[in-house]
Structure 1
């Protein structure tokens, strides 16, 4: 049997991070599951006690990112796949989004993704056994391809992730055997779009029935959770 791969998943406690962790674990892979609140992963850790390492990691804190990778390499000797997924969302017209909130979102969605990507590349190249390399999966969004009403700041952060990831891919020496991919899912209701979302009130100038922003706000507000 081939050696099981070691995954490092950011934002593993919910949404795509949780789903990918569960699938990898169910296939006998090893997962280093990171979250800001490790206790959110207690159920998953109890289900797969031999295949999972839970690590606290806030991607906006560089020391947390370094510590997560260090924990992975110390326990398993390598990291094969990084699912760079941690994120959050803002719902609100661009005019109505406070600058501090927009900057905080970029700290998670963009700068957090950059920090994880940089350490992933270093580990793949310098810490993994020779010629093993690795695969970096940076999670973007369909909104990384084009904008959407009341999602302008979120969309901008994902455009930034796409440009960064494509540039990073082109910089890497092929001899390092590092593969980099962008994942751009469409509309799924994960916690990034429910409990992980900050919603700002509609400015009076943007009120009106039938506006595109109204339908998007309803999509976030209806709580269906499993339908686009």
Structure 2
């Protein structure tokens, strides 16, 4: 391996963006620490590369001890970590009134608290373990971290929370540490996501009604049933994940990366509409904040 090759630690590499990013990084000559809850899933994939280039580790991001152990093993094998792609996560779909609390909390433990734990350890590792100091943290967030959709209340909330955490963390970093953070807000991409979506039973009040939640649920049922059938996802306008991953790799090489990268025409369009609506409301009601100071 070249001494200049970078070391990636990627969470959630069983499929989708995690697996595609690992594949691209390896093709570029980088080294990869591929983490996932069931390492045996990657047996055939890992066998295609020398042990000097890939390390497959068990990691359930909802368990803080496993996060620290994964970083420690990465250092023991490769000596450093240059890029952390915080990708593990899944979606719970259902009406805001209908998703059981324990189901939503379990998802938050992965999408938010798991991502937070990985982020905290990444920053500590970049600052205290890497020589020279520094590294790149890339969060695989979602367009729904800014713009919500019906039946995604808790998934969107987990991504909103991650956006708030990430932005705050980035503001707190000492520039001399040479740590760069970007949140990637993806739109719809063709992936094998059928196993990463949990559909909750419909709430009786919404079942069969002419409402946005029912329409979205029906659409999601068709999408999950389609599973890995790429053509079905393409018909819905989803984009090419392998092309998106090339942009994520390019992002990892930027010396001055953005705090957020909107990836996909759909998410760019949705965020622009969101900004326009927010601006309209701010302009219309800004005067309501006049004369709110204490009287003297």
TM over 0.5: yes
Relative to 1, partners in 2 of residues 1:12 and 1:223: Cα closer, same or farther, differing over 3 Å? closer
Cα distance in 1 for partners of 2:205, 2:227 equals: 26
Aligned to 2:75: 73
Aligned to 2:142: 141
Q: State how 1:116-131 maps to structure 2 within 5 Å.
A: 116-131=118-133
- Shift of residue 190 of structure 1? 3.3
Aligned to 2:198: 198
Cα distance in 2 for partners of 1:190, 1:97 equals: 24
Paired residues of 2:194 and 2:228 also in contact (CA < 8 A)? no
Relative to 1, partners in 2 of residues 1:195 and 1:32: Cα closer, same or farther, differing over 3 Å? same
- Shift of residue 225 of structure 1? 4.3
Aligned mate of 1:82, from 74, 81, 84: 84
Paired residues of 1:149 and 1:216 also in contact (CA < 8 A)? no
Q: State how 1:41-56 maps to structure 2 within 5 Å.
A: 41-49=42-50, 50-56=52-58
Paired residues of 2:92 and 2:152 also in contact (CA < 8 A)? yes
Runs of 5+ consecutive residues of structure 1 not aligned to the other structure: none
Q: Deviations over 1:19-77 (max 9, x none)?
A: 00000001110000001011011122101123100111000111110010001111111
Matched, 1:39 2:43: no
Paired residues of 2:9 and 2:33 also in contact (CA < 8 A)? yes
Structure showing greater Rg: 2
Aligned to 2:93: 91
Q: Normalising by structure 1, report the TM-score.
A: 0.94
Aligned to 1:10: 11
Aligned to 2:222: 218
Relative to 1, partners in 2 of residues 1:173 and 1:225: Cα closer, same or farther, differing over 3 Å? farther
Q: State how 1:133-172 maps to structure 2 within 5 Å.
A: 133-172=134-173
Aligned to 1:173: 174
Cα distance in 1 for partners of 2:191, 2:63 equals: 23
Q: Normalising by structure 2, report the TM-score.
A: 0.73
- Shift of residue 223 of structure 1? 2.9
